[in-house]
Structure 1
């Protein structure tokens, strides 16, 4: 078989969606993504057609490496959205060829490296990324929380409003203990602004916390100002998010396991683990 490595400049979301579904068709739970969902996926995770590449066999997309552009928010690393190969094209070295193409364009844009997440039980993928030079940098938790068990609360003097993303503080360090992964970042909220609910918790004119939830019930962010923690603000924000989402459960994707505060908060609320991921970095 002969393959051509090309960027995604002239490939529409319909073809890329089909390629993703084909690449993950033999999973225990096969992927069945709609074109609309793929467009959201692109916006949320910062897809760049110039920095993303596919391997073509004729007109068929045999494999892909979807990437964003270098991000100052992540020390100028570029985020890898997804990597996949259709079953019949595996074990032909396509991922390495795609990575080489990605690295070339990233270096031309002064990227410091790449980063991605991989499920901790996917030993084959982890081994492949390690062979490419990626190293694990932190453990990430994915969990779910039933909304039916949440109790309404209203800490004294705190009021809740709907916020736009541009109303959030530029400096988030007083609210977060660790940096959110790219799909939960400020850029993700901007990309999905039309369908993302952001709730602000106010004490007078002071923003003491906020929460953001995507339309599928995935909570992107919960931030409570450090001097207002353990006062019921987080619990109240969580209830507000559940009300706005209108889903039977909330999901929390890629919570840094070293962030003891948010993990203790989620455990107390009744969160159940789904899986664990590793964040991995490649230095260029």
Structure 2
């Protein structure tokens, strides 16, 4: 079969969404994104048509590698949103061809490499990425909180914040940096489609949380100087009430963030799965 590799500049979101759904149609839980949900996915994760590539057979998409632009806040690495091949076109080396095209374009944009996430139990995908030169950078947890958390403090009342109030330097708040779909750029891209709530005392920001409409918590941060005083619980409860869902999920919590993991487990969050964040560095 002959395939043509091209970027995504002339492809509509509906075409890309259909290809992504078809690529994951035979999974245990098939993917069924609506076009609206796919557009949100693109915005949240920084999709760039000129940095994303597809393999086409005629007019049909056989495989894809969706990517963003290199980001300075992630060491000039570019985030891979999704990689997939439709069932009838697998084991033909298309992912490698797409990676070559993505890499060439990323180099032209000054990228120093790529990063992506893969579920730790997906051994075939992990082996494939490692064969391409990716390595495991860190382990990320996905957790779910199924009951409304109680707030133990009346001294701290979260209120809505504008994103401009969140500091660009967050070392005093985060143990480790959020992954791209939860970072500042993602919140900015989805504004105002999220709830951002914070606690301020005499004009000083002590902590904040952000949750998407589906109950996925993008960020929860408390300055290290005021931890264990009930701010985290107050923010978490406010996020629960703002989202109005039956549960909150926490996607890509760094396993090494001991304080954050301890807090989430203390309030009752249960682990659903783990992912590896994998990176490929250009030489």
**TM range, normalised to the smaller chain?**
over 0.9
TM-score (norm 2): 0.98
Q: Which structure 1 segments of 5+ residues have no match?
A: none
Match of 2:160 in 1: 162
Match of 2:150 in 1: 151
Who is 1:280 aligned against?
Answer: 278
- The number of aligned residues is 282
Say if 2:151 and 2:234, in contact at 8 Å, map to a contact too.
yes
Q: CA deviation at 1:152?
A: 3.2
Query: Relative to structure 2, which stretch is displaced further, 166-175 or 230-239?
Result: 166-175
Q: How does 1:80-229 map to 2 (within 5 A)?
A: 80-148=80-148, 150-156=149-155, 158-229=156-227
| Secondary structure of 2:248 counterpart | strand
SS of the residue corresponding to residue 50 of structure 1 reads: helix
Q: Mind listing any 5+ residue stretches in structure 2 that lack a counterpart? A: none
In the other structure, the counterpart of 2:28 is 28
**Greater alpha carbon shift after TM alignment, 161-170 vs 134-143:** 161-170
**Residues 155, 231 of structure 1: 8 Å contact kept:** no
Residue in 1 aligned with 2:231? Answer: 233
Q: CA RMSD in A?
A: 0.8
Q: Where does residue 245 of structure 1 map in the other structure? A: 243
Q: Give a deviation string over 1:83-137, Cα, whole Å, max 9, x none.
A: 0000010000000000000000001111111000000000000000000000001
Whether the aligned pair in 2 keeps the contact of 1:147 and 1:242 (CA below 8 Å) is no
Q: CA deviation at 1:155?
A: 4.4
Per-residue Cα deviation, 1:209-259 (whole angstroms, up to 9, x for no partner) = 000000110000000001010100000000000000000000000000000
Distance 1:155 1:53 in 2: 52
1:77 matched to which residue of 2?
77
Change in 2 beyond 3 A, CA 1:155/1:174: farther
* 2: CA distance, partners of 1:147 / 1:197: 19
Contact 2:158 2:234 in 1 (8 A): no
TM-score by length of 1: 0.98
